[in-house]
Chains A and B, each alone.
Chain A
Amino acid sequence: MLKRKTPIGWFVGFAISFALFQLMLLAITNLLFKGIGLWGVNIPVGWGLDILNFVWWIGIGHAGTLISAILLLLRQKWRTSINRFAEAMTLFAVAQAGVFPLMHLGRPWLGYWLFPYPNTMGIWPQFRSPLMWDVFAVSTYATVSAMFWFVGLIPDFATLRDRANSKPFRMIYGMLAMGWRGSARHWHRYEMAYLLLAGLATPLVLSVHTIVSFDFAVGIIPGWHATIFPPYFVAGAIYAGFAMVLLLTIPLRKVYGLQSFITMRHMHNMAKVMLATGLIVAYGYMIEAFFGWYSGNPYEKFMIWNRMHGPYAPYYWALILCNGLTPQLLWFKKIRANLLVLWLIALVVSIGMWLERFVIVVTSLHRDFLPSSWGFYRPTQWDWAMFIGTIGFFLALLFLFIRFLPMISIFEMRTILPEAEVEEG
């Protein structure tokens, strides 16, 4: 696995995604020169593609933490062959997510003002704002995900160090392994630390998307101001994340011949998680419509009517089709077993989750209480360039990861081999 020749597809894929990454850099450069007037955002829709892409990316990240932390606590051993990859996906998705709010600041070079540091202005951030909560939640999430990933890699770095053919690689991996030598005392503390990290990451991942949903739910805009938001957002995040894991692992296991590591059981389990979270999300859509009707509030009623019949109605119905109806196919075993269809469903769900955030962000903002302040939002080419660029950056990072680091945890795979069992003599 480690010493195999790089398939030609790797170079093609990396070249394409790296080119898209350049598009992102171009979009950011242009933005820094000209300001966010380049984007379609304006009053009343001040949060356009930028915030929805942020929510979309961070949601994708959550599946990685779920797989590595929650499934570890639940002793689901099948997670072992996909957790490393899923954690890398988390980290890279969070990196993309961070780009959007930072660029949306308008003056991104002052982004550090968000952190409470002693400053000559003599002021402090305003901690009653959900946007401050977001800063802490996302930066904590990024830090903990990075630590979790790195700690998981330490023993594998040691393996790579001891197997490296050339001195530079031995030195690089050696430094990363920090002198790991597989001592029994070290393993004991290591396992404890890993378990505790999993236990800490589990409530963390739930809190992060809860806080992201507070960005909306704490506001009073109809369509945002709903108590259903935290659980509905968390389920949506896991839903989108598993769709992304499937989207990536299905071609990967084919190209790298990993069928004996990432088995059909994994595919079935991931499809089932998608189905379950998809049902929660569908329940969320139903409850939103129900609230609109049952609240008796004209603004809430208008909001849901506007979603279904307003100028963005096609987005709403496409969302229901993608997220509500399509995953129902996963009830059938035959469909879960057909990888091409499963891949297409994962793609449809990814698009659906993007549409969901579009509907939440844009349709709620564009028509609020006063018809005189209504407006319309259309993303510009630079909005799209940023979004497509982050997809390229994400894929480029994943390609580098596959090439230089073990994408399946070596030592954890060893523990589940029958030879690893200690026979009591």
Chain B
Amino acid sequence: MIKTKPPRLYGVMAQFDSPSTLVAAARETYEAGYRRINGYSPFPIEELSEAIGFKRTSLPLIVLIGGILGGLGGFFMQYWMEVIDYPLNVGGKPFNSWPAFIPITFECTILAAALAAVLGMLALNKLPQPYHPVFNAPNFALATRDSFFLVIESKDPKFQHDEVMRFLKSLEARDVCDVEV
């Protein structure tokens, strides 16, 4: 006989038909004291991230740092090359012709900040991530089309399977199911 462990539980997922019901349910869930929760929707819903208690992201700071580093890097790259490593007299201009270095400094600022925005967003979101437990849920393919989902993770300190099941069913969910890891 092959011994199989019972599948570990990632959480319990409820499916909703509209953004309004999802947001209302997410608020109630948060008020009921659950914290390891997440919503899934086909398009961004501003109220949803607030409802699950996710309000701040460090992305703007990352972009600011990226921009500052890009700008300094861009300028001092030119400074080092034109003044220190390879000083060349061009039309009698000073080696440190800083006004002529500004366009490239500007472009490097934008480039680094934009890279920070995109790579920072992907890194904070932990993407690319080919596998995630929620993809196991039967209807989850609809999360990119016209369905809305709420998950209470099993890691939540308040998580008790039967209690969570009952709680989610009491909301206006169309369907509630287990999500396995």
A-side interface residues toward B, CB under 8 Å?
A: 116, 122-128, 130, 132-133, 136-137, 140, 143-144, 147-148, 150-151, 155, 158-159, 161-163, 174-175, 178-193, 196-197, 200-201, 203-204, 207, 211, 214, 411-412, 414-415, 419-423, 425
Query: Given that A126-B88, A136-B108, A151-B118 are known contacts, is A422 also in contact with B127, CB under 8 Å in the complex?
Result: no
Q: Which residues of B contact A191 (CB under 8 A)?
A: 44, 46
Q: Which residues of A contact B132 (CB under 8 A)?
A: 179, 181
B125 x A159 contact (CB < 8 A): no
Shortest CB-to-CB span from A365 to chain B, Å, is 21
B44 x A137 contact (CB < 8 A): no
Q: Mark B62-82, 1 if CB is under 8 A from A, else 0.
A: 010001000000000110011
B59 x A147 contact (CB < 8 A): no
**How far apart are the CA atoms of A179 and B125 in the complex, in Å?**
10
In the complex, the 3 A-B pairs of residues with the closest C-beta atoms, listed nearest first? A178-B128, A193-B121, A124-B81
Contact of B113 among A116, A200, A421 (CB under 8 A): A200
A411 x B125 contact (CB < 8 A): no
**How far apart are the CA atoms of A161 and B67 in the complex, in Å?**
34
Q: Which of A183, A184, A420, A425 has the most CB of B within 10 A?
A: A184
Q: Which residues of B contact A189 (CB under 8 A)?
A: 57, 59, 121, 124-125
A204 x B104 contact (CB < 8 A): no
Check: B11 CB closer than 8 A to any chain A CB: no
Shortest CB-to-CB span from B119 to chain A, Å, is 9
**How far apart are the CA atoms of A190 and B117 in the complex, in Å?**
9
Shortest CB-to-CB span from A340 to chain B, Å, is 36
Query: Given that A185-B49, A187-B45 are known contacts, is A162 also in contact with B141, CB under 8 Å in the complex?
Result: yes
Shortest CB-to-CB span from B106 to chain A, Å, is 6
B44 x A190 contact (CB < 8 A): yes
Check: B171 CB closer than 8 A to any chain A CB: no
**How far apart are the CA atoms of A174 and B127 in the complex, in Å?**
12
**How far apart are the CA atoms of A419 and B47 in the complex, in Å?**
14
A411 x B43 contact (CB < 8 A): yes
Q: Which residues of B contact A420 (CB under 8 A)?
A: 19, 43, 45
The bracket for how many chain B residues form the interface is: 35 or more
In the complex, residue of chain A having the shortest beta-carbon distance to the beta carbon of B111: A140
A159 x B144 contact (CB < 8 A): yes
29 contacts between A and B (CB under 8 A): A124-B85, A128-B82, A128-B91, A143-B115, A147-B114, A162-B141, A163-B145, A178-B129, A179-B130, A179-B132, A184-B40, A184-B49, A185-B38, A187-B43, A187-B44, A188-B54, A189-B57, A189-B121, A191-B44, A192-B57, A192-B59, A193-B117, A204-B114, A207-B110, A211-B103, A211-B107, A415-B43, A415-B44, A422-B20
Q: Which residues of A contact B44 (CB under 8 A)?
A: 187-188, 190-191, 411, 415
Query: Given that A179-B130, A192-B59 are known contacts, is A127 also in contact with B39, CB under 8 Å in the complex?
Result: no
Q: Which residues of B contact A184 (CB under 8 A)?
A: 26, 38-41, 45, 48-49, 52, 54
In the complex, residue of chain A having the shortest beta-carbon distance to the beta carbon of B82: A127
Q: Which residues of A contact B54 (CB under 8 A)?
A: 184-185, 188
Shortest CB-to-CB span from A39 to chain B, Å, is 28
Q: Which residues of A contact B135 (CB under 8 A)?
A: 181
B114 x A182 contact (CB < 8 A): no
Q: Mark B85-129, 1 if CB is under 8 A from A, else 0.
A: 110101101000100110110111011011101101110110111
**How far apart are the CA atoms of A207 and B105 in the complex, in Å?**
12
Check: B12 CB closer than 8 A to any chain A CB: no
**How far apart are the CA atoms of A384 and B172 in the complex, in Å?**
66
Contact of B125 among A128, A147, A190, A211 (CB under 8 A): A190
In the complex, residue of chain B having the shortest beta-carbon distance to the beta carbon of A208: B107
A197 x B117 contact (CB < 8 A): yes
A200 x B42 contact (CB < 8 A): no
B78 x A127 contact (CB < 8 A): yes
Contact of A182 among B47, B78, B120, B143 (CB under 8 A): B143
**How far apart are the CA atoms of A232 and B108 in the complex, in Å?**
24
In the complex, residue of chain A having the shortest beta-carbon distance to the beta carbon of B26: A184
Q: Which residues of B contact A192 (CB under 8 A)?
A: 57, 59-60, 121
In the complex, residue of chain A having the shortest beta-carbon distance to the beta carbon of B59: A192
Q: Which residues of A contact B24 (CB under 8 A)?
A: 425
Query: Given that A116-B81, A183-B40 are known contacts, is A196 also in contact with B101, CB under 8 Å in the complex?
Result: no
Query: Given that A124-B86, A127-B101, A137-B103 are known contacts, is A193 also in contact with B127, CB under 8 Å in the complex?
Result: no
